[in-house]
Amino acid sequence: MAEQSSTNLTRREAVAMGIRGAGLLAFGGALGALAFDRRVEAETVWQIDPEKCIQCEKCATECVLNPSAVKCVNVFPLCGYCDLCTGYYIAQPAALDTAAENQLCPTGALIRRWVEDLYFEYTIDVDKCIGCARCVKGCYDYGNGSLFLQIDQERCVRCNRCSIAAACPSRAISRVSADKPYILRTRTRTG
C-alpha cells in the first residue's frame, strides 16, 4: 500500500512540475518577446522619405509635439543658391522682386544670406521651423528640390505609433535603421 501512495504522489509531483515548467516557459517566452520588441524599437526610428512626401502640411499639425519634430533641411550641393528662390519667396508674387511681403515661410525659419553677385545661401532656423512644408513645396514645384522635410531625431520623442505616420496620405513616414536615421535627397527632383 505504501508503494501505491508514493507512486500516486510522484505522479502528482510530475504533473505539478510539468505545469510549473510550462508556466515558466510561457512567462520566459513573453519576456523574450517583450525584450525583442523593445530591441527592435530601439534599433529603428521614424523618418520621412523625401521621394514619397507630397508636402501636405500634416507634419506641422499631426505631431504630438508643438512645434513639430519635423524640420526642413537643405541639401546644399543640390541648391541653386537662387536670387528668387521659390522655397523662400512665393512662386507667383504680385511683382518679381525680393520684397519681404513675398516671403513664403510663416515663421521666418528660412534664412537668406548673400554669398556673392546674385547667389544666396538658404539655411533653416530649426527652432522657428514648424514643419509646414510650404518652402519644400515651393522648392519642389518650381526649383530643384533641395529643400525637404526630415524628422529631427534630437527632438522626436519616438512614439510607438507616430501620429504623423498615421495621418500621412502618401505613407512617406516609416521606421528606418537607427544607425542611418536620415533619408537624404541625393539628386534633384525628376520633373
Instruction: Transcribe 122-134 into DSSP letters.
Output: EEE-TTT-----H
In a domain, 53, yes or no: yes
Nearest Cα to 77, choosing from 177, 188, 190?
A: 188
pLDDT tens-digit series, residues 136-184? 999 998 888 999 999 999 999 998 899 999 999 999 999 999 999 999 8
Buried b (16+ CB within 10 A) or exposed e, 96-111: eeeeeebbbbeeebbe
For 18, phi then psi, to 5°, come to -65, -40
pLDDT bin (cut points 50, 70, 90) of residue 10 is confident
User: When comparing pLDDT for 190 and 34, which is higher?
Assistant: 34
pLDDT tens-digit series, residues 72-110? 999 999 999 988 888 998 877 666 667 777 889 999 999
State how far the Cα of 110 lies from the Cα of 41, in Å rounded to an integer.
Answer: 33
User: Domain range spanning residue 112?
Assistant: 45-177
- Locate cell 504533473: which residue? 15
Chain center to CA of 174: 7
On whether the pTM is more than 0.75, the answer is no
In a domain, 10, yes or no: no
In a domain, 38, yes or no: no
In a domain, 5, yes or no: no
pLDDT bin (cut points 50, 70, 90) of residue 1 is very low
In a domain, 115, yes or no: yes
The pLDDT of residue 107: 95
In a domain, 56, yes or no: yes
The pLDDT of residue 142: 87
Indicate the number of domains in the chain: 1
Chain center to CA of 169: 14
In a domain, 65, yes or no: yes
- On whether the CB atoms of residues 121 and 81 are closer than 8 A, the answer is yes
118 is written with which cell numbers? 546674385
In a domain, 147, yes or no: yes
- Where residue 162 falls (left for φ over 0; alpha for ψ -120 to 50; beta otherwise) is beta
> 3-class DSSP state for residue 181?
coil
